[in-house]
Structure 1
Amino acid sequence: MERLLGLLKVKVVSGVNLAICDPLAHSSDPYVAIRLGQQEVFDHDTFTKDDSMGDAEFSILNFVEIAKKDLSHVPDDTVMKTIHPDKGNCFSTESHITWKDGKVSQNIVLKLRNTDTSEIILHLEWVNIPGTVQ
């Protein structure tokens, strides 16, 4: 059995320049699906195949590696690692994994693939579970 390290909270902050997928209504009803391994979580919306507004992917390995460390001695507002946009991720801008207020967090701006200008802004935060060993 795998050891439970904590919880990863993912907050969708906003979508920017999202494509209009319903040309008759001149609007869209965007949804988000987040997949981690075999787990997939959708928002509470209903959707059809023609609702696709693009996709993006990124790795959380660096984030999890930092979250597993004992950071109690690290000063507040410390940037633990900076991730730069490259061909292996969908980052639009560099992203900092930070230690602030006793939490590991990361703000991410992702360029959606299969669309011209759409981006999605996410906030990741690690939540330690009381009683687990880091």
Structure 2
Amino acid sequence: MSDVLGFLKVIVQRGINLAIRDAITSDPYVVIHIGQQKLKTHVIKRNCNPVWNEVLIFSIKDPNVSINLAVYDKDTFTLDDQMGMAEIDLKPYIAALKMAKGLHNLPNNCALKRIQPNQNNCLANESSIIWENGKITQDMRIKLKNVECGELLIQLDWNETPNCKGLESEGTYARFNHIYIYICVQHIPDHGLGHPARPEGSPEI
């Protein structure tokens, strides 16, 4: 495991207004690829606003990989219908993890970085990378592509075990007179659609 930097939990929380692929509804599930790894959620029957709250765990060896996800409608006698896809750039999240190396006792709900939606990142609204209780997570509302409608709420959560190589610090905090100085924006959590809460009972590595 010496070449593994760490483990990325992708928490697939819920879908919003997903496309109809059967007569009046769909049976959606989510497939996620990171590098050569592929994991998927369970199927939720007859629901275009499904709640999964499912944790998919990937080992990360290359910090430059992207998350590729797709939503499908489960069919019994034909090929599963696609209900949209998205590619998620991990670089902002990885950069925030490196920036926070060596920092301790930050205030909870501290926003280390905010990412604005643009034509390249599939975000439906602003996404914040948050420090809370020593953990750094990113909540994302993803607008699916190549489909008439549909969004996904997911959360990223990084974990390292003693056997992991770990991410190297980029030295993005300054030392001045033996005091570490950092800038932190206080984040007020929004438990609506924009910034969903972490699902309870997420397994720990």
Choose between structure 1 and 2 for higher RCO, CA contacts under 8 A separated by at least 6 residues: 1
Q: Corresponding residue for 1:62?
A: 92
User: Following TM superposition, by how much is the alpha carbon of 1:2 offset from its aligned partner in structure 2, in angstroms?
Assistant: 6.0
Which portions of structure 1, spanning 4 or more consecutive aligned residues, are displaced by more than 3 angstroms?
44-50, 130-134
SS in 1 for 2:96: helix
User: Following TM superposition, by how much is the alpha carbon of 1:111 offset from its aligned partner in structure 2, in angstroms?
Assistant: 0.6
Q: Corresponding residue for 1:40?
A: 38
CA radius of gyration, larger in: 2
CA distance in 2, matches of 1:15, 1:80: 26
Provide TM-score, normalisation by structure 1.
0.85
Q: CA RMSD in A?
A: 2.1
> Which of 75, 100, 125 is the aligned partner of 2:157?
125
CA distance in 1, matches of 2:4, 2:80: 38
Is the strand fraction higher in 1 or 2?
Answer: 2
Q: Corresponding residue for 2:122?
A: 90
How many residues align? The count is 132
Residues 2 and 163, structure 2, Cα contact 8 Å, conserved in 1: no
SS in 2 for 1:33: strand
What percent of counterpart residues are identical?
Answer: 40
CA distance in 2, matches of 1:70, 1:16: 38
Residues 113 and 128, structure 2, Cα contact 8 Å, conserved in 1: yes
Aligned pair in 2 of structure 1 residues 71, 34: CA closer, same or farther (>3 Å)? Answer: farther
CA distance in 2, matches of 1:13, 1:114: 21
SS in 1 for 2:83: coil
